[in-house]
Structure 1
Amino acid sequence: MKNWTLLTLFLLAGTKAVLAQDTIPITFDEAIAIGLEQNLDYATQKNQQKVLTMSRVNARLRHLPSVNINTNLNRQVGQQFQQVEGQLIVTNQINDILSSGLSARIPVFHGFQRLHETKAAGFFEAAGEKALARAKEELSFTIAQQYLQVLLDEQLHAIATENLKNQKSQFAQIKGFVEAGLRTLSDQYNQQSEVARLETVALNAKVQWETDLWALAETLQFESNRLPLPEPVPLDQNHSEWLEMEPQEVYEQALLYRSDLKEQQLLEQGNQRLLAAAKGTMYPQLSAFFNYNTFFTSLDERTIGDQLLMVYPQRIFGFSLSIPVFNNFDNKTAVTRARVNRINQQLENTALERKIFQEVKLALENFKAAIQTRASTEMQLKAAQEAQKAISERFRLGVSNFVDLAQANEQLVTAQSDHVQAAYTLFFQKIILKYALGLLAEDLHP
């Protein structure tokens, strides 16, 4: 009895610890919405997409001239050289100099390198958007899994608690039978041992429930003193239009919807453009340039405006041609690296297509199996309930022994747990099927 009391107090303390937290009731859809808004990893990936967007803008603007303005202000102290009437005069004095210039450069022909880089940047930005869409699906999938696990833990804890309550009542009943001489003392001790075991089972169920609840709170980025309180979901998920299709047809649909496959395809196109850009570095590079320079010196008595605008301005413009002859295989190395990246990307595309086929096939089979399992557990539960009622009555009348009663109780609890797990498994298997098809982000209402 002392052990029972300690375990009961421990269980109640754990329950109060959870209830002491600031719980926030949330629905399934609200949990996914909160996760998409607050999850750290997803927010980080969204920020990374801004870099890809700016890279695409940068690649386009590189077709325009690059313009720079430079200004220098300096003082020379010491010998100053001046040329006056054909003579070079050297004086020792202070000379303040202000120089300014403007330079512009525009590519004329670089082997279509910048054109290919611009298109590659566009492909990479689009690939990033597809990756972000798949990340949204992955986060939704994780939240759904954790959300349903918490609900399942809650149900399993309720079953364990109810079973413990029933077994305590049965222990009081057996104790009365023993005092009346209708049962042996061994039955009382066996039931006492069973109650102690079930208290531990209930406690473990409570700890597991709380642990998974904290995991969900971390995924949703809840504050440290707050916990989500998931609301029940409808568990009638035994039909899907995909079950009426052949696996190959479902697979072909997945190829159309899976954003991660589209991402890999866009990455392959981007790498193909980078390969073309790398080959462009092996062609002559032709650029046009324009430079405007002027300066002011304190040795000249004319005004600063006259010197900067009238006396010393200098304009230089023309073309610059660079022909690669031998660059230590830098260009060839860049081409080889780009070609290998493209080949590796093609391999990843092929591997992902195989993976998608396996995921779709397994998701379909598991969904079908989950439907059958739920139907079987319903029959199992009904049979276990009837068997427990019959054996309990026989035990009360003294016809059945304690072993039969304990087995019936255990089978009933097992049937209840299996039925609840089958219901949530079926619900989650439909989510897995949508995730495998790439439709989870578009339809967040399983």
Structure 2
Amino acid sequence: STGNDVWTLQRCLEHALEHNLQLQQAELGVVRGVLAETSAKGAFLPNLNASSSYGVNIGQRIDPFTNQFASDAVQSSNYGMSSGLTLFNGFQNHLNLRRARLGLELAQTNVEIAQNNVALSLASAYLNVLFQKEFLTIAQLNAEATGRQVDRIQKLVNAGAAAESDLYDVLAQQAADQSSVVSAENGVTIAKLALAQLLQLSGDEADNLDVAPPSDDLLEATQLPLSADAAVAFALNAFPDMKAAELQVTDAYLGLDLAKAQRMPRITGSYSVGSGYSQNRQTLVSDPITQDVTIETVEGILVTTPVVTQEGEFATMSFQDQFTNNLNQSIFFSLSLPIFNGFGIETNIDRAEVDVLSAQLAKEQTSQSLTQTVEQSWADARAAQRTFEANDRALAAATLAMTNAEARFEAGAISALEYADVRTRLDNARINALRTQYDFVFKTRILDFYLGRPLSL
């Protein structure tokens, strides 16, 4: 209809690469990989932390800033800043950074794998819509042809030149053809729905979805390689599945190096600076008043000595002065050497070695699976080609038979039942030729995909 929105295969692929949720999940893996790399780089830098505390102590205690007993409520506060740096930890930071960069590359490779999976699914769904539309066209043509035969037989029956049984036979064929049209229409609707769901279209967009017809040279542009060797070689060297498997092997070796690094000593350094304030910290604000007094010693000697007549005045030391006076700094270095930890390190090393073997086996399995998939794709395409060629010959023969049957039926040489039987064979030949044509095209496109060629129709 005029309201349909026609989609080419290329448009479908571009839309899916932008909106597919599976791809978006894979792209989030890349974001996580970038964050992991940033975190691994930050492990080389020192940390820096600030601290502050305030409290009120009630009851007898030693004031840490006056070193005297205090029984009154004492308000105090502490302020500090500290920094620490790992000087050596068996090169674990370097290994973690390499592993994070490897993880980022693996995440990017997983995006490529997801893109390939979506592309293959879309191509299959797209071709299925084309096939169902062609099947509908055949069903409609058959129904129209049967309708013409009904009109012709009706006229012959009315003229007394044909039996009513012939009309009933053709009417039965017409009903069967109309049922085939409905079934084909349902097939088109379901195929379009499957494609719309892959594209994640909304309701209105899905209702208006249609696909562009294939190019006129669809079969001419479909060439089957002589063997699967070239496709296998390309897939093993360039496909992201193999790259991901190789990266996982490298990651497993890095995990083993990290496990072994736990045997190494760990050296850290730290620096801290701090100060504090206490309400009980007093300072002299006015000197005591003294007066010289003469006294006589036991020996009868007169001695003049000062005597305090008025005590000096004290006040709480200001925050600024206390902060300056109480300032303290410290530098520490620590060494940690693992000697025994309940077999934890050795167990981690053994587990990492198992992970390496597992990754190597997974790589071999991926290589084997990819090789088998490509070889099977070539075999399927070869079988589809031979089946299509055979069905094409059968269609040509059925078409000739139908032409002859039409002439004989119009001449009254065969019955309507015999004519319908020839029509059925032609219908089956058309359907089989069409099905095997699209099957051959799809399977060769899959093989082209493994050869690194873009999907197209």
Q: TM-score, normalised by structure 2?
A: 0.85
Per-residue deviation, residues 78-108 of structure 1 (Å, max 9, x unmatched): 23645699973323125142x2322222222
2:286 matched to which residue of 1? none
User: Is this contact kept in 1: 2:6–2:212, CA < 8 A?
Assistant: yes
User: Is this contact kept in 1: 2:74–2:278, CA < 8 A?
Assistant: no
2:88 matched to which residue of 1? 109
User: Is this contact kept in 2: 1:110–1:283, CA < 8 A?
Assistant: yes
User: Is this contact kept in 1: 2:22–2:114, CA < 8 A?
Assistant: no
Q: Does 1:306 align with 2:296?
A: no
Compute the displacement of 1:149 (Å): 0.8
Instruction: Decide which of 30, 37, 41 is 1:56's aligned counterpart.
Output: 37
Q: Does 1:146 align with 2:161?
A: no
Q: How far apart in 1 are the matches of 2:320 and 2:163?
A: 119
Compute the displacement of 1:373 (Å): 3.7
AA matched with 1:279: K
1:32 matched to which residue of 2? 13
Worse overlay, 132-141 or 231-240: 231-240
Report the secondary structure of 1:289's partner residue.
strand
More helix as a share of residues: 1
Report the secondary structure of 2:263's partner residue.
coil
Q: How far apart in 1 are the matches of 2:190 and 2:65?
A: 94
Counterparts in 2 of 1:247 and 1:26: CA distance versus 1, 3 Å: closer
Instruction: Decide which of 434, 439, 446 is 2:448's aligned counterpart.
Output: 434
1:387 matched to which residue of 2? 401
Report the secondary structure of 1:225's partner residue.
helix
1:7 matched to which residue of 2? none
User: Is this contact kept in 2: 1:68–1:104, CA < 8 A?
Assistant: yes
Q: Does 1:75 align with 2:90?
A: no
Q: How far apart in 2 are the matches of 1:277 and 1:205?
A: 61
2:167 matched to which residue of 1? 188
1:236 matched to which residue of 2? 218
Q: How far apart in 2 are the matches of 1:211 and 1:195?
A: 24
1:157 matched to which residue of 2? 136
Compute the displacement of 1:237 (Å): 4.5
Q: How far apart in 1 are the matches of 2:44 and 2:64?
A: 47
Instruction: Decide which of 307, 323, 337 is 1:323's aligned counterpart.
Output: 337
Q: Does 1:126 align with 2:126?
A: no
Counterparts in 2 of 1:126 and 1:83: CA distance versus 1, 3 Å: closer
1:273 matched to which residue of 2? 254
Within 5 A, what are the aligned runs for 1:257-268?
Answer: 257-268=238-249
AA matched with 1:161: Q
Counterparts in 2 of 1:298 and 1:204: CA distance versus 1, 3 Å: farther
5+ residue gaps, structure 1, are: 1-18
User: Is this contact kept in 2: 1:291–1:315, CA < 8 A?
Assistant: yes
AA matched with 2:159: A
Q: How far apart in 2 are the matches of 1:69 and 1:156?
A: 72
1:203 matched to which residue of 2? 182
Report the secondary structure of 1:232's partner residue.
coil
5+ residue gaps, structure 2, are: 282-315
User: Is this contact kept in 2: 1:107–1:287, CA < 8 A?
Assistant: yes
Report the secondary structure of 1:64's partner residue.
coil
Based on CA coordinates, which of the two structures has the bigger radius of gyration? 2
Compute the displacement of 1:358 (Å): 1.1
Worse overlay, 211-220 or 246-255: 246-255
Counterparts in 2 of 1:375 and 1:59: CA distance versus 1, 3 Å: same
Q: How far apart in 2 are the matches of 1:417 and 1:84?
A: 96
Per-residue deviation, residues 221-278 of structure 1 (Å, max 9, x unmatched): 111222221111225245578714x433432222111111100100110111011101
Q: Does 1:341 align with 2:355?
A: yes
Per-residue deviation, residues 129-183 of structure 1 (Å, max 9, x unmatched): 1111111111111111111111111111111122112112212222332333333
Q: How many aligned residue pairs are there?
A: 420
Per-residue deviation, residues 331-372 of structure 1 (Å, max 9, x unmatched): 223223322222111111111111111111122222333334
Q: How far apart in 2 are the matches of 1:372 and 1:84?
A: 96
Report the secondary structure of 1:226's partner residue.
helix
Report the secondary structure of 2:58's partner residue.
strand
Q: TM-score, normalised by structure 1?
A: 0.87
AA matched with 1:303: S
Report the secondary structure of 2:110's partner residue.
helix
Q: How far apart in 2 are the matches of 1:45 and 1:139?
A: 12
Counterparts in 2 of 1:168 and 1:331: CA distance versus 1, 3 Å: same
Q: Does 1:92 align with 2:107?
A: no
Counterparts in 2 of 1:258 and 1:241: CA distance versus 1, 3 Å: farther
Counterparts in 2 of 1:378 and 1:72: CA distance versus 1, 3 Å: same
AA matched with 1:185: E
Report the secondary structure of 2:52's partner residue.
strand
User: Is this contact kept in 2: 1:121–1:270, CA < 8 A?
Assistant: no
1:3 matched to which residue of 2? none
Worse overlay, 264-273 or 361-370: 361-370
Counterparts in 2 of 1:237 and 1:135: CA distance versus 1, 3 Å: farther
Compute the displacement of 1:328 (Å): 2.2
2:148 matched to which residue of 1? 169
User: Is this contact kept in 2: 1:242–1:250, CA < 8 A?
Assistant: no
User: Is this contact kept in 1: 2:123–2:455, CA < 8 A?
Assistant: no
